[in-house]
Amino acid sequence: MLAMQPGGTGAAYAAMTLRTNGRPLFVHGVFARNNADHEYGVPTLLDCADGNCTRGAPRVLDATERDLRVIRMATRPNGRNLITWGEAGGTKTLYLYQCANRDCSMGRITATLPNVDVDYGLAMRDDGIAVIAFRLSASGTVKLAFCGLPHDLIFANDFEVP
């Protein structure tokens, strides 16, 4: 079940996690316009009402249309999700969205990283700290970011990989 906004041209770059109750949380890019060089879309979360995701409530996480690329999602031990998406054009920004509860009915963008290549990695440690591996566009330097200090909403950067 994908929720398309009116006038949408497609959906792609999906990620999914399963909650302990067996219900998926599904996030994908919904594209509103398209041209040869860019796919402008908004990250949209689908809170599945059953295990087969035959129905659910879609929510736009960020209403700003961007040249949206790769979406990742990981679940913390406390059941909250961290969702990331990249913007290919403009500032090549990586966005980090923290869910405030297990259903992700509330949350916010808690950090942005500019000048990041569109492909990156996201993993969740057993202690609930999210680790993001990314490469800076200008220098090609690979870095690690750790997210998940007090209250799941603090972000720390600049851990370089030797």
Neighbours of 104 (CB within 10 A): 23
Tell whether 84 is covered by a domain.
Answer: yes
pLDDT 10s digits, 10-56: 556 788 999 888 999 988 887 665 555 566 778 889 999 999 988 88
Number of separate domains in the chain? 1
Answer whether residue 52 is part of any domain. Answer: yes
How far is residue 67 from each of residues 42, 99, 115, 118, 153, measured CA to CA in Å? 9, 22, 14, 10, 25
Residue 10 carries which side chain, given as an amino acid letter?
Answer: G
Residue reference for tokens 């680790």: 131
Parallel, antiparallel, or unpaired: how do β-strands 39-48 and 94-99 relate? Answer: unpaired
Cα 20 to Cα 125: distance, rounded to the nearest angstrom: 17
Predicted pLDDT of residue 74: 93
Exposure of 41 by Cβ count < 10 A (0-12 exposed, 13-18 middle, 19+ buried)? buried
| 77-97 pLDDT per residue, tens | 888 899 998 887 777 888 889
Query: Looking at residue 39, what is its pLDDT?
Result: 65
**pTM metric for this prediction:** 0.82
- 161 falls within a domain: no
Looking at every residue in the chain, the average pLDDT score rounds to: 78
By residue range, what is the domain housing residue 72?
10-124
In a domain, 149, yes or no: no
Residues 121 and 131: their CA atoms lie apart, in Å, by 8
Q: Is residue 148 part of a domain?
A: no
